[in-house]
């Protein structure tokens, strides 16, 4: 008898290695759990959007999901092409569907794939909805009798890109951006965001060069399609070689953004979100507040205080950020991973929109990325940030989780621990406004440690002490 699969929905859906745990049988089980939940909650008539990225088998997995759901009498709308996760999120709202399922492993290495569930509001499914789906999934995996639909519904293929581009045009006026004789470089990282920004900016004076635009599930030249510094050397090189004003990178499913300045230097995700916060609250006068995770910069708190807007901190994951944006009517939301959301769109990360808003900040201010960053630090003071990912064998998870949960240092890097937040791992608030976080990744077998301090020496000391405290 085969071992019962252990399928858990983490920070953003369920992810696993293709052909090991991520199999058609397990994907079908997850699809059945979604169908059961729709029936049990009385929302099955609204149907389901099913999307997929460019990874191995994603389209076939998506059609397997649709086939299962259709057999429960629930109609499905399926992508006609691989497309970004935020396009799936918008399609759910645009088609008034009950849920969306997106087959993607986002930024994970190429051997992974994943199963994301989207809410009717277009964001990540809430923790409550995910918990209900997991309960149904347990019944499916245990072989308990399923609901039976009265008929087999049809799955229909629809145009996903066209309506998504129309929505982006509604959210941001790109004409002033297009009118500028700027050179920009876009790095699609061989993912499903290729062509989105070039299409949005076509027909103007702006010159857009897109690199790594060919779909390739191997994601060559990078550890994984995550827009962080060491994966973006080709983008940095191209910006410098072409004299471009900025480089914009999108991750594998285009819900995250990375920014390279005019000198080919990587901006941290905390710097980018802080710059976008300043832009949204300042130049765009959106003061509704910010929803962000415990790993987001304290610069956001200082900016929000400057503009008289509140900040709402959440555990890591847009399944927390998105609902908070809705509940508190926030203007924007963000997390350290480079995923940001904005009012007027779905409460979900959108890498292309984030990149376009960064361009808008440059055009409205008339300033280069380095000048924008200098202005930011002049307003909120110096900040430096680093995240370290430490891999582990699955057998170590319980021990490491206990180390994180029980950590109680009196100080880190010579800075006194003033308070802690244990909603997701542990965040230590340190003297002088610095902070550090340790938590177990919800998507990969990693311990993540983070810190933000005024200078590099203190940053190194804080991270070193935190590693010693955890024994990693």
What residue spans define the domains of the chain? 14-160, 172-380, 384-470
Which of 94-105 are b and which e, b meaning 16 or more Cβ less than 10 Å from the residue's Cβ?
bbebbbbbbbbb
Label residue 146 by pLDDT band (50, 70, 90): low
For residue 465, pLDDT beyond 80: yes
Q: Mean per-residue pLDDT for 427-442?
A: 93
d(CA 3, CA 252): 31
Single out the residue of 67, 69, 47, 48 nearest to residue 59, CA to CA: 67
Main-chain dihedrals φ then ψ at residue 35, nearest 5 degrees:
-60, -45
Counting every residue written for the chain, the total comes to 472
First-to-final CA distance of the chain: 37
For residue 144, pLDDT beyond 90: no
Classify residue 276 by burial, with Cβ atoms within 10 Å: 0-12, 13-18, 19+: buried
For residue 424, pLDDT beyond 50: yes
Contact 351, 86 (CB under 8 A): yes
Cα distances from 376 to residues 245, 355, 383, 444, in angstroms, run: 18, 18, 10, 33
Label residue 147 by pLDDT band (50, 70, 90): low
Q: How many CB atoms lie within 10 A of CB 378?
A: 9
For residue 365, pLDDT beyond 50: yes
Q: How many CB atoms lie within 10 A of CB 209?
A: 16
Torsion from C-alpha of 196, 374, 264, 433, nearest 10 degrees: -90
**Which residues are within 8 A (CB) of 284 and not within 5 positions of it... i.e. 6 or more apart?**
none
Q: Do domains 172-380 and 384-470 have the same CATH topology?
A: no
**Which residues are within 8 A (CB) of 73 and not within 5 positions of it... i.e. 6 or more apart?**
44, 149, 150, 151, 152, 153
Single out the residue of 417, 386, 414, 401 nearest to residue 471, CA to CA: 401
Torsion from C-alpha of 46, 50, 51, 57, nearest 10 degrees: 180
d(CA 336, CA 387): 9
For residue 107, the SS3 value is coil
pLDDT per residue as tens digits for the range 83-104? 999 999 999 999 999 999 999 9
- Indicate yes or no: pTM above 0.75: yes
For residue 53, the SS3 value is coil
Handedness of CA 54, 224, 219, 231 (dihedral sign): positive
- CATH architecture of the domain 172-380 equals 3-Layer(aba) Sandwich (3.40)
Contact 271, 376 (CB under 8 A): yes
Range with the poorest average pLDDT among 114-128, 146-160, 433-447: 146-160
Q: How many CB atoms lie within 10 A of CB 200?
A: 20
Give me 126's structure tokens: 């809430």
Q: How many CB atoms lie within 10 A of CB 405?
A: 12
Classify residue 67 by burial, with Cβ atoms within 10 Å: 0-12, 13-18, 19+: middle
CA 434 vs. chain centroid, Å, equals 24
Q: Mean per-residue pLDDT for 367-387?
A: 95
Contact 333, 318 (CB under 8 A): yes
Give me 357's structure tokens: 């808003």
For residue 356, pLDDT beyond 70: yes
For residue 117, pLDDT beyond 90: yes
Q: How does the average pLDDT of the chain come out, rounded?
A: 94
Q: What topology does CATH give the domain 14-160? A: Alpha-D-Glucose-1,6-Bisphosphate; Chain A, domain 3 (3.40.120)
For residue 267, pLDDT beyond 60: yes
Label residue 2 by pLDDT band (50, 70, 90): low
Contact 185, 239 (CB under 8 A): yes
Number of H helices, E strands in the chain: 15, 21
Contact 280, 342 (CB under 8 A): yes
d(CA 177, CA 359): 7
pLDDT of residue 149: 59
Contact 318, 121 (CB under 8 A): no
Q: Which residue has the tokens 């029936």?
A: 39
d(CA 261, CA 372): 10
pLDDT per residue as tens digits for the range 271-328? 999 999 999 999 999 989 999 999 999 999 999 999 999 999 999 989 899 999 999 9
Single out the residue of 106, 55, 111, 53 nearest to residue 82, CA to CA: 53
Q: What angle do CA 347, 235, 382 make, to 5 degrees?
A: 65
Residue 343 DSSP label: T
pLDDT of residue 153: 86
Label residue 1 by pLDDT band (50, 70, 90): very low
pLDDT per residue as tens digits for the range 222-234? 989 999 999 999 9
pLDDT of residue 239: 98
Label residue 243 by pLDDT band (50, 70, 90): very high
Strand partners, 201: none
Q: What topology does CATH give the domain 384-470? A: TATA-Binding Protein (3.30.310)
Contact 302, 308 (CB under 8 A): no
């Amino acid at each position: 008898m085969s071992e019962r699969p252990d399928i858990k929905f983490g920070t953003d859906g369920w992810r696993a290695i293709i052909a090991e745990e991520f199999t058609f049988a397990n994907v079908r089980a997850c699809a059945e759990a979604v169908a059961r939940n729709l029936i049990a909650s009385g929302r099955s008539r609204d149907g389901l959007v099913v999307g997929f990225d460019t990874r191995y088998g994603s389209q076939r997995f998506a059609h397997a999901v649709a086939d299962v759901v259709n057999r429960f009498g629930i109609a499905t709308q399926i992508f006609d092409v691989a497309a970004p996760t935020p396009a799936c999120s918008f399609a759910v709202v645009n088609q008034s569907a009950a849920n969306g399922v997106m087959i993607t492993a986002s930024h994970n290495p190429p051997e992974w794939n994943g199963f994301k569930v989207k809410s009717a509001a277009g964001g990540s499914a809430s923790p409550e909805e995910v918990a209900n789906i997991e309960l149904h999934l347990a019944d499916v995996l245990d072989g308990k009798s399923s609901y039976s639909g009265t008929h087999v519904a049809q799955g229909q293929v629809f145009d996903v890109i066209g309506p998504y581009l129309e929505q982006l045009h509604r959210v941001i006026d790109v004409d002033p951006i297009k009118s500028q004789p700027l050179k920009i470089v876009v790095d699609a990282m061989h993912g499903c965001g290729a062509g989105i920004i070039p299409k949005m900016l076509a027909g103007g004076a702006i010159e857009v060069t897109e690199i790594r635009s060919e779909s390739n599930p191997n994601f060559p030249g990078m550890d994984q399609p995550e827009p962080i510094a060491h994966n973006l050397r080709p983008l940095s090189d191209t910006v410098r070689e072409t004299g471009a004003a900025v480089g914009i990178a999108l991750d594998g499913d285009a819900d995250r953004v990375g920014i390279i300045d005019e000198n080919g230097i990587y901006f941290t995700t905390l710097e980018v979100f802080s710059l976008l916060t300043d832009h949204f609250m300042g130049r765009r006068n959106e003061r509704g507040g910010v929803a962000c995770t415990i790993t987001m910069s304290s610069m956001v708190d200082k900016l929000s205080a400057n503009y008289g807007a509140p900040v709402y901190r959440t555990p890591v994951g847009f399944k927390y950020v998105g609902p908070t944006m809705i509940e508190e009517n926030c203007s924007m939301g963000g997390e350290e991973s480079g995923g940001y959301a904005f009012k007027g769109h779905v409460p979900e990360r959108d890498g292309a929109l984030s990149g376009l808003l960064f361009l808008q900040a440059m055009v409205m201010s008339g300033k280069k990325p380095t000048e924008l960053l200098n202005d930011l630090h002049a307003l909120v003071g110096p900040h430096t940030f680093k995240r370290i990912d430490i891999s582990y064998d699955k057998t170590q998870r319980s021990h490491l989780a206990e180390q994180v949960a029980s950590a109680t240092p009196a100080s880190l890097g010579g800075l006194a621990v003033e308070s802690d937040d244990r909603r997701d791992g542990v965040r230590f608030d340190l003297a002088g406004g610095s902070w550090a976080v340790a938590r177990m990744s919800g998507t990969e077998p990693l311990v993540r440690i983070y810190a933000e301090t005024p200078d590099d020496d203190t940053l190194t000391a804080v991270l070193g002490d935190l590693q010693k405290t955890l024994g990693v």
